[in-house]
Structures are given as structure tokens and as C-alpha cells.
Amino acid sequence: MNTEERISFLRKELEGYNHSYYVLDTPVISDFEFDKLMSELIGLEEENPEYQDDLSPTKKVGGMVIDSFNTINHKFPMLSLSNTYNAEDLNDFDNRVKKLIDVPFQYVCELKFDGASISLTYVNGKLKQALTRGDGTKGDDVTENVKTIRSLPLKLKGDFPEEFEIRGEILISKSDFEKLNDQKIEKEEKPFSNPRNTASGSLKMHDTKEVYNRLLDCFLYHMLGENLPTKEHFSNLEKAKSWGLKVSDTTEVKSDIYGVIDYVNYWDTARYDLPFEIDGIVIKVNNTDLQEELGFTSKFPRWAISYKFKSEQVFTKLNSISYQVGRTGAITPVANLEPVQLAGTIVKRASLHNADQIEKLDIRVGDVVYVEKGGEIIPKVVGVELKDRDLLSQPTEFISTCPDCNTELVRKEGDAKHYCPNSENCNQQIIGKFEHFIGRKAMDIDGLGVETIELLVKENLISEISDLYLLRKEQILPLERMAEKSAENLISGIEESKKIPFERLLFALGIRFVGETVAKKLANHYTTIDNLMSSTFEELLAVDEIGDKIAESLVHYFSKEKNRVLIHNLKGHNLCFLAEKKQENLSDKLSGMAVVVSGVFTHHSRNELKQMIEKHGGKNVSSISKKTTFVLSGDNMGPSKKEKAEELGIPLISEEEFINKIS
């Protein structure tokens, strides 16, 4: 066997041993024997650089120093999941799904691993890229660090697609976490706080050899791409497993929500026996065509949900209550606590929600209170230990005036929140509006953060959104912590924001009830801000998915002179109030027609059919009404949808008839 053949042999053997040990959990050789073979391969590669290969098992050992991590857009957004906490919530989710799809379907139940989300792209069976979740739209490229994970193959085997994306969670097992902390203690260093934060922090380390020593693992749970093996989420995971990817054996298919609840109840207890941390269960509709039909809200997929196990609770002392003012003027009471460890982090503050919550729990300063993390993210006070209460304590009186501008607060009937009505002169509201405007999902202005906004407001350099576009470098340079380069970056970022598309600018204005999805629909429908501003309440209601609350809010917003002046000023600064021109339609054969797509089709996916409808001038709608022109009906169309179409006299046409219609 010559050198090249020996290198090839060692690579193949080590890949197999890695897979057996870290994925199948069935060691084939001892650690000593493995290390001996790895050392031989490392030596041969160093002596024969002409045989170097980026996919060699030696690359997992690390050794590269990374200067910085590039931020890259996700091909498919990495959205969060909405949360449920009990069986009633799960039944509500099930009912929402059934209302929208009305065909037989299954659920897939998965463990919700407690680690750091990752998105991997494989091209021709080779790992091309690994991105963190980031803000869901773009993430950091941590490919070199991810390559060091022993359970993750750098190249696949079998009948994989040419290109696909697979998502998962990078974590550290309980036993490996203990090993890492033992090493820390031996060196008299501060131990890590919890496995999740350690896994997440490890991904952003600059020395790949150090990342390798962190003993990271990875479970994969969701595949995306144009040419996936099957139309079922679970079957795609089984295929991924056959290619060498690590997929949990605990994932199961359930025929109904009762099976889902049984799965949840089982793992609520059994989770403590797992070798790694989980914080809940993820439930997904199995069929990928149905996932497409269900679609997304601005924040969450409608076809998946997370069940969160009961939160960990701790008790601590409530030292004081302070009050925050939001951009809408809403007042939020905040508990300032004696610092306490909760779910791996030190908690010093927690939400008290509103005056009703304080009164309901009878929360008082000086109380020993119970704190938990709502959805494992935001700490909240959930109870009081009355036996520890000071006999002289007094009930909490909610403030009557704004903590920022001293204006008397108002509370509308049926609203749990108190509000400061002084929107024009209340600094905290002004800062909140700027903070929303410059946010990543809005204008995303580089070099401009909340601290700088506060400073600019304090120095009276800005009071209205449009003032940002009047700022000059000479005004900014004298400010605290503002150097020449940072001032230039700030002005450049503001100038660059003028290119932000209309839909994001509309969202950035902060109109009540106008989130990202609504802003996009309005921008696409009206195409210009002038068309939107002149629209009546009735005309707004005619827009797809625009209801009473949104229509009322828009009419109210544009009726105010100061808002119309703001838009006039922003136009003067050349911000984009014109929707991007849509790609020219193939024809107008479906112009003015509202089409419902329902069922399973032979020649095209549901998504392809929807694209065809739009390309020929039609509009896709999700439910059948008197306004529906026809239903594009496939196999297994839901009986209730069919019945409703027949009742209203809406024609049902087949896939073949539809193709003839647009040909």
C-alpha cells in the first residue's frame, strides 16, 4: 500500500469509527487505538501536503485561528416557534391547523434540545456552510468551528440531494459538561454556568482547537431545499440518518393531537433520564405540502409549535418596583430583585406585567417572591411567599403619573395597561420610537444603537424620526464616545438606510397593529404611500387579511397632521415610499380572480401552482367565500371545503383544467 492509498484508507476507517462512536453510540475500537490511527494520519498529511483534503477527519481536531465571523443571509428564514404550556393550548393549535387545511394529516413530535441553533448547507454531499440563527434573517458563518464536531460528517454517503439545508441544535451532554467544569476547577478557573450557554459561546471562539476541546455534539431535526427526498418531514429525517447525519431516535409520528399529548406527558418525566438537556417538545405537521399551505405569520410557522415544560422557579427578595415607558406610551412595572440564579443565568429584574397583576398577586416591596422564566426567556414574578411578609408592609399603589414626563396616566376601558398620552414630549416614548425605527427588521441603521439615540435626544439633536436625516458629522463628533470613524459610520449608515424597501419603511413607522407581514401586504397592494394614506376604512378592509383593528389604526394614524408631516419630510430626504416593481406577469388570464388551492396534485406541488396563479394575474386566498372565483381541487380535498364550495356555487377545477386555462 503506497502513501496515498494509506492516507485514503485511514480517512475512511476513522470516519467510520467516528460515526459508530458519536452517532450510533457503538464504539468499535478503543480511544487509544483511535488516537494512534489519527496521529498516523496527521503525520502522513503533514509530510505529504499534496494529499491534503478539507474533508479529512484530521480537520475535526482544529488548529485554525479565525479573525472574524462573516454575517450571511439565511436562504430560508430561521423563525422561532410559538409556545404552548398545557393540553388546552395544544388542542387550540390542533383546531387552528384543522380550520386551515381540512385534509387528513399527521404530526411529528421531537425533543426540543436545549442548545444553540445551527443551519447546515451540504452541496454534493459535502458540508459547505454552517450559520448560527442570528436574528433569524441572517446569521454568523461558523463553518470552521462546526467542522470540529465529532458527530457531524463533513461528507455524506448515499442518495442525498445535490444541495439541501438541514437544521439542528448544537449542545453539550450533561456528562461532558461535568468533565469541562472539572477541568476548570482543577485550573482554579470559574466553571461554566450551564451547557446551553457554553455550547453557544463555543461556536464563536476564534481558535478551532479550543472548540474541539469543548466536546460539542449536534442533533439535526429539519430539512429544507428544492428537491427533498420525500413529501414527509419524518421520512426526510430517516433519509438524513441513512446519509450519516445524527437524528434523534426519540422522534415519533402521531396520528392525532391525543397521541401528541401522550408523547408530551411521557417526556415530561422521562427527560430527566436523558444524557442531555431538553426544555420541551416540538410538534410539526408531517406533510411538507401542507406545511407550505399553512405558511407563516410574521414571527412563527403555522404548522409547528413548541410545548414548553413547566418553568423552573426560584424565590428571592423584591427590593423595589420601577416603571418603564414603551414607544406607544404603555407603562410596564418592573421588579428589581435580589440577584438569583435561574435557568442558568443571574436574574436581577423581572416583569410585573400591569396594575391588575400586581393587585391580583398582592405584590409588595420587601416580599419574598417566586420568579420563573416565561417561555424560558423573560423572567416574571408569579407568586408571593406570604408567611415571610413583613407585618408592616403596605399594598403597592400603581403610579398615577408618567415616570419620565410626569403627565397623568390614562387607562382605556377593557385595556390592562396604563398609558402616558404625552407622545410628543415624553423622552422615553420618543426614544422608543427611534429604537423601533432603527431596528434590524426595520431600517437596520449601522452604527446607530439605543445609547447613541438617547444621547442624540438628550443633546436635542433629534426629536422626530426625520431629524436623523438632517444630522451632520460636525454635530456628532463632539458627543461622548464618538470618534471620527464612528461618526462617519453613523452618517454613512443613515444614508444607506434610504435604500430600505417600502415595506420595511412602513413597518418602521411604528403604526399600531402594522407588523412585518401586514406592512408587506399593504406595500404590495397599494404600491405607494400616497395610495395608502388616501385609502378609506372600507377600502382597507377589502385588502386580503386586513381586519377592523388594523384598518382603524391606519385611518387614525394618517388622519393626524404630525404623521402626514413626518411622511412628507421623509419623502424630502428621498426615503423609499414606492414598492419594488413586481416581475412582469406571464399573462393576465387570471386577473381579478381569487383562487383557493386544496388537495394533493399529480404534476405540480401546491407551491408551484400558487406561483402559477400569481404569474397569470390571480390572487391566492386561503379560505372559500363568495369572493372566491374557483377552487383548484386535487386529491384528498377536505370534505367541508368541498361542501362549502358547492353550497356557494364555486366551481371546482382539476389540475389539468387549470393548466389548460392558463395555456
Catalytic residues: 112
Residue spans of beta strands (DSSP E) within 277-327: 278-285, 304-308, 313-325
Q: Which element (helix H / strand E) includes 132?
A: strand 126-132
Q: Is the dihedral of CA 361, 367, 368, 370 positive or negative?
A: positive
> What's the farthest any 2 CA atoms get from each other in the chain?
88
Q: DSSP assignment, residue 635?
A: B
How far apart, in Å, are the Cα atoms of 15 and each of 224, 233, 538, 627? 25, 27, 65, 59
Question: Which cell numbers in the block locate residue 110?
Answer: 421531537
Nearest of 300, 252, 263, 309 to residue 108 by alpha carbon: 252
- CB neighbour list of residue 315: distance below 8 Å, 6 or more residues apart: 340, 368, 369, 370, 371, 385
A 10 A CB-CB count for 41 gives 20
**Strand 630-633 relative to strand 652-653: parallel, antiparallel, unpaired?**
parallel
**Taking phi first (over 0 means left), then psi (-120 to 50 degrees means alpha), and beta for anything else, what does residue 5 get?**
alpha
- DSSP one-letter string for 332-377: EEEEEEEEEEETTEEEEEEE---HHHHHHHT--TT-EEEEEEETTT
- As a three-state string, the secondary structure of 40-100 is HHHHHHHHCHHHCCCCCHHHHHCCCECCCCCEEECCCCCCCCCEECCHHHHHHHHHHHHHH
Angstrom distance (rounded) from CA 63 to CA 67: 13
Question: Which cell numbers in the block locate residue 133?
Answer: 440563527
Angstrom distance (rounded) from CA 168 to CA 82: 18
Nearest of 263, 270, 266, 169 to residue 221 by alpha carbon: 169
